[in-house]
Amino acid sequence: MSFSKTIKDEIIKRNIYKKEPMSLIQGIFMCAGSLVISGGSLSFVVSSENENVINFLNSLLKQVYKDVQTDIAKIVKSFKTKERFEISVFDPDKLILKDLKIVSENKDGEMTISELCDLSFMKSKDSMLAFLTGAFLGSGSLSVPDENKNKKSYGYHFEISTSSKELADTLAEILSNFDIFPKMVERNQMFVIYLKNCDIICDTLSLFGANKVVLDMLNLRVSRDMNNLTNRQINCISANIDKTVNAALKQIEAIEIIQNTIGIENLPETLNEAALLRLSNPEGSLKDLLVAQGNKISKGALAQRFDKIIKLAEELGEKDDK
């Protein structure tokens, strides 16, 4: 199950803005609805990949309009596309569309259709958030980093898409009233407001009442951060081991060159001691060698002795080549 469906199902289940059904209906319709003119009459259709959203809208409509006629259908265009669900709402007297401020008529009966519904009745905090919640149910989505290592992760991404720039501006303005400032982009002739920051996304979902999903997201982030930290530590340890092994191999190789030329017994006492220490501990780190030697000298001093051994071996090797 996707995070988007999980969030929408939780929002629908909790429905914390149930006292604002018209704002919820308006938000869903403006982001997922379309008008239908057939036989001279006007109706509207709302489409969604989430069947629960369609059933939720149906219950909202019947809550406000007891005798409303609706028809729900599953739409499958081809086996390659996801199935969608549609609710057709029959509104011969245009009562619902007028209440939603989408259709208006003058005294002569001339009808005007508004691309951006009148939001003047959304005066309370709850009505604004209900409209925003409906918009998310209609065309919102959320993606989170994928824990599957076989897939590329794109990070956190929350968005609501709409065909109207004015509506996208309105949604952004509503969010700004709650100190949430989304960015906007035009994509495939749609206007998308989006958020990328996990904390801000969690704040936004909390406004919708999706608190359980917020906790799941935060737990997921903690788990990912812990995994990333562990991986960095493992990589660091692995890199240090590789560095230690490579250094030891280089030192042993230098000691063998000296042994095969002038003999390590002819080295100065301090270098001879370092060479024997390395040969007796071929895989040990400098720290391990110091412990074996009784910590008589510092780590820096021991490293300098090995540098001198390597430099001497290089000089002896050059003489050998000549």
Inter-residue contact 31 to 39 (CB < 8 Å) = no
> Which of 189-193, 240-244, 247-251 has the weakest average pLDDT?
240-244
What does the pLDDT average to over 135-141? 96
pLDDT at 95 over 90: no
Range with lowest mean pLDDT among 145-149, 159-163, 253-257, 278-282: 145-149
pLDDT tens by residue, 58-82: 999 999 998 899 999 988 765 566 7
pLDDT digits (tens, 9 = 90+) for 261-316: 888 888 888 998 888 888 888 878 888 888 888 888 898 898 899 999 998 888 88
3-state SS, residue 123: coil
Are the CB atoms for 299 and 315 separated by under 8 Å? no
Query: Parallel, antiparallel, or unpaired: how do β-strands 69-75 and 183-187 relate?
Result: unpaired
Cβ proximity of 8 and 148 under 8 Å: no
Q: What would the mean pLDDT of 40-56 be, rounded to a whole number?
A: 90
Q: For residues 195 and 111, which has the higher predicted lDDT (pLDDT)?
A: 195
Alpha-carbon radius of gyration of the chain: 35
Instruction: Return the higher-pLDDT residue of 2 and 48.
Output: 48
Confidence (pLDDT) at 75: 84
pTM above the 0.75 mark? no
| pLDDT, averaged across the chain | 86
* CA atoms in the 13 A half-sphere facing the CB of 146: 9
Domain positions in the chain are: 3-209, 231-321
Place of tokens 């925003």: 132
Out of 3.40.50.10320, 3.80.30.20, 3.40.50.10860, 3.10.28.10, which CATH number does the structure's domain 3-209 have? 3.10.28.10
Tell me what percent of the residues of the chain surpass a pLDDT of 90.
40
Query: What share of the chain in percent tops pLDDT 70?
Result: 91
> For residue 80, what pLDDT is reported?
63
Q: What is the 3-state secondary structure (H, E, C) of 50-64?
A: CHHHHHHHHHHHHHH
